């Protein structure tokens, strides 16, 4: 902390200096036009793979905010106070991409991989695929427990890694198209997570 005031060459972490590593799953050859999917074929033909999205395909990361509130549980006319914190609220993690290569099909294949039910037999409906469908879905706990997003904030002195584990995709947005706009299409994905860890240096686990 002191170097910021005493060393003119010291630089704080800057927004544009970061790297993201995604350890997620996707379905190879997934077709959104299918009403049902042969889950046993996916397993037997080994169509579930780790996704490999290069870091330069990622435009930005909206790091989740944590907030809580306090409440005085003492009586209205009590001369003393009894203040306690309410349950905390962890916001979700959102990543914005550049629409390059096959991300238009890769992003949905990541999302649906986490909600396929591999215990329903040879053919199972794909949840959420039809707008009017009220079909619910259970997430695949094995995929969630083995998924991770690591964000490295780069600095000349030392890198800082924030790691989100037990990751579950909650939503995706393929962006919007406009004849009057020449900007790059920027799809997004939003993730829930269970554990956050931070570390110094190049590692991805540990404590500050």
Q: Is 142 helix (H, G, I), strand (E, B) or coil?
A: helix
Q: In this structure, are residues 183 and 168 in contact, taking their beta carbons and an 8 Å threshold?
A: no
What average pLDDT score do residues 168-193 get? 94
**Spatial separation of the C-alpha atoms in residues 168 and 92, rounded to whole Å:** 10
91-145 pLDDT, tens digit per residue, is: 899 999 999 878 988 998 899 888 876 655 555 555 555 555 555 667 888 889 9
Average pLDDT, the chain: 77
The rounded Cα 156 to chain-centroid distance in angstroms is: 27
- Range 22-29 average pLDDT: 88
- Strand positions, DSSP E, the chain: 18-23, 25-27, 36-38, 48-50, 58-62, 66-67, 70-72, 83-85, 89-90, 93-97, 123-125, 148-153, 160-165, 168-173, 188-192, 195-200
User: Whole-model pTM?
Assistant: 0.76
Point out which residues pair with 195 in neighbouring strands: 165
Q: What percent of the chain has pLDDT over 70?
A: 64
pLDDT at residue 73, as a whole number: 66
pLDDT band at 181 (very low <50, low <70, confident <90, very high): very high
164, two tokens: 């989100």
CB proximity list for 24: less than 8 A, separation 6 or greater: 50, 51, 110, 147, 149, 167, 169
Q: Which tens digits make up the pLDDT trace of 138-180?
A: 788 888 999 999 999 888 777 888 899 999 999 999 999 999 9
Phi and psi for 192 in degrees, rounded to 5? -95, 160
Whether the pLDDT of residue 208 is over 50: the answer is no
d(CA 104, CA 100): 8
């Amino acid at each position: 902390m002191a170097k910021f005031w005493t060393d003119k060459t010291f630089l704080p972490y800057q927004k544009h200096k970061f790297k993201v590593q995604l350890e997620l799953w996707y379905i190879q050859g997934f077709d959104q036009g299918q009403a049902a999917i042969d889950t046993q074929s996916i397993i037997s033909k080994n169509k579930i793979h780790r996704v490999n999205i290069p870091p330069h395909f990622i435009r930005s990361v909206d790091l989740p905010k944590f907030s809580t509130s306090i409440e005085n549980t003492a009586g209205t006319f009590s001369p003393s106070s009894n203040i306690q914190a309410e349950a905390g609220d962890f916001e979700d993690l959102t990543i914005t991409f550049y629409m390059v290569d096959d991300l238009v099909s890769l992003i949905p294949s990541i999302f649906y991989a986490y909600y396929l039910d591999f215990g329903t037999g040879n053919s199972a409906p794909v949840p959420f695929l039809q707008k009017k469908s009220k079909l619910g879905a259970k997430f695949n706990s094995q995929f969630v427990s083995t998924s991770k997003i690591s964000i490295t904030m780069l600095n000349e002195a030392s890198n800082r890694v924030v790691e989100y584990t037990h990751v579950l995709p909650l939503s995706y947005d393929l962006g919007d198209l406009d004849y009057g706009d020449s900007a790059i299409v920027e799809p997004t994905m939003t993730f829930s997570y269970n554990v956050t860890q931070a570390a110094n240096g190049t590692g991805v686990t540990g404590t500050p």
